[in-house]
Structure 1
């Protein structure tokens, strides 16, 4: 049975380069070149499903709609971009249960989307609605533009770079996965003030998402356990995982992980220009191809244990 990432790799191999595509499959968003002037436009799409990304029976539909947009805005942020507009598609369950009729459910979902869109000055341009006997599905496509001359890719990390992350990690399923703030403001400030080499949003957990940067950049990494910023939700989480393991593997934090040169790292840590958001240095980029974790003096391979869809 193939995993999500293996399938994406196979699909990627079937797609040829195109003059209107500067950056395609393999990043948080594509960078498409529009018109005679080849204007760069970021395009990303995320599909969320009941019982996979949320639980409709126990969740305010407005929060579900909000999350459906927020994950797309997080992808735009991870590319060092600004969001411009979205289109929304719903597959509504026939008989919406506690949330009323299908159209009443759609109105509640859309309210959550519109409220977040207005906060970030994003246009809701349209979309499509259908109904079926299956669970609720929401798909949003977001359009944006790079803040700088081009998007920040996963493939730009360099040996010697230092690795940073915004916010705190772990335990997001306690509720933060529905209410997180997409790091658009932080991404804009980073791009405007530092030479960001590579960036990704933490949707699947550091142990999975960092490996995307390492693979695309053809480098390795070392993380330091004592420097990982652990959220209080992770410390309260039950189960067999330690707070550190929750921070490394849980996913759905939607913080941004990025790399910069040692010189920019000094500026970032001594005179941070990101207002109101914690930024923590957690490791460094190395030669090789594997990620390692140093925990209490012991160096071990950081194995992938974050979220991945089984197909």
Structure 2
């Protein structure tokens, strides 16, 4: 299977910058500016944890595997440059078609973000599908956006809408690479990350790195239609799903209050940005519910076991 897959890869066309070497040699090579910082992220997804093989296409698996890494690059307001794709596939005759489909799904998304697949590996075993992607990126400015740096009084904001990702968004979301670059270049952001496990788990991670507390207002959350659908099924409030469902892969960031005011009047992109709370000096993290009552923000988001 491996040799047949390598032959398939050899016939694929990939856009590479001048002076770069992609799939076909023992290692890839990328041109790199002497003053530019390298950023690297990697993530692994697998059958029955991040997707159900019998419910999705191979292309959807490949797309998600790359997209979650592009979201991590976006979280640091950086530009993706190239990706490595590694496949661990079930033994059997269907493995080659599965490998091709996964690559195709990743390659299509890679092309749209200027992030060619430049290498990787493949193997088979008597188990389930697992896909690992590593993305290399560059920092266009002097410093990437980090989780540390949030200041008391900062506005807490998010892109897009939240909740209900299990109904399909976790397979089809757009990494916020372009939005992150524009935000970081035109507004003074203090800290940021992406929302992978839900605000109730991810925001405490940012606050811990920044050594601050926070207060989130459930009345301000941008709730997706899917979160409302989940609410009808589970009986939990739609705002609960917006806080806890996870795999939204939207940006979560903080910025000074005056910058938030300027952002609210000057942001013209189609992806909405919403203020959802305020950074405070100390923990615990708090939630204002729909009745205006303050209560602890409980970490009820998705946790990988």
Fold match, TM over 0.5?
yes
Q: What is the aligned residue count?
A: 272
The correspondence for 1:254, drawn from 234, 249, 256, is 249
Secondary structure of the residue aligned to 1:155 is coil
* Aligned mates of 1:300, 1:218 — CA distance in 2: 20
Instruction: Tell me the equivalent position of 1:118.
Output: 111
Unaligned runs of 5+ in 2: 1-30
Instruction: Tell me the equivalent position of 1:53.
Output: 50
Q: 1:36 to 1:283 in 2, by over 3 A?
A: closer
1:38 Cα deviation (Å)? 6.1
Give yes or no for contact 1:168–1:230 (8 Å, CA) kept in 2: yes
Instruction: Tell me the equivalent position of 2:81.
Output: 84
Write the deviation string for residues 250-306 of structure 1: whole angstroms up to 9, x where unpaired.
Answer: 001000010001111110012214x11110000000010221111111000001011
Give yes or no for contact 1:157–1:285 (8 Å, CA) kept in 2: yes
1:242 Cα deviation (Å)? 1.6
Unaligned runs of 5+ in 1: 1-33
* Aligned mates of 2:159, 2:80 — CA distance in 1: 19
The correspondence for 1:134, drawn from 111, 127, 130, is 127
1:240 Cα deviation (Å)? 3.6
Instruction: Tell me the equivalent position of 1:64.
Output: 61
* Aligned mates of 1:202, 1:247 — CA distance in 2: 11
Give yes or no for contact 2:36–2:140 (8 Å, CA) kept in 1: no
Matches within 5 A, 1:127-276: 127-237=120-230, 238-273=233-268, 275-276=269-270
Secondary structure of the residue aligned to 1:57 is coil
Q: Cα RMSD between the aligned structures?
A: 1.5
Q: 1:35 to 1:144 in 2, by over 3 A?
A: closer
1:308 Cα deviation (Å)? 1.1
Q: 1:35 to 1:189 in 2, by over 3 A?
A: closer
Write the deviation string for residues 3-54 of structure 1: whole angstroms up to 9, x where unpaired.
Answer: xxxxxxxxxxxxxxxxxxxxxxxxxxxxxxx999464101000000100000
Secondary structure of the residue aligned to 1:105 is helix
TM-score (structure 2 length as normaliser): 0.87
TM-score (structure 1 length as normaliser): 0.85
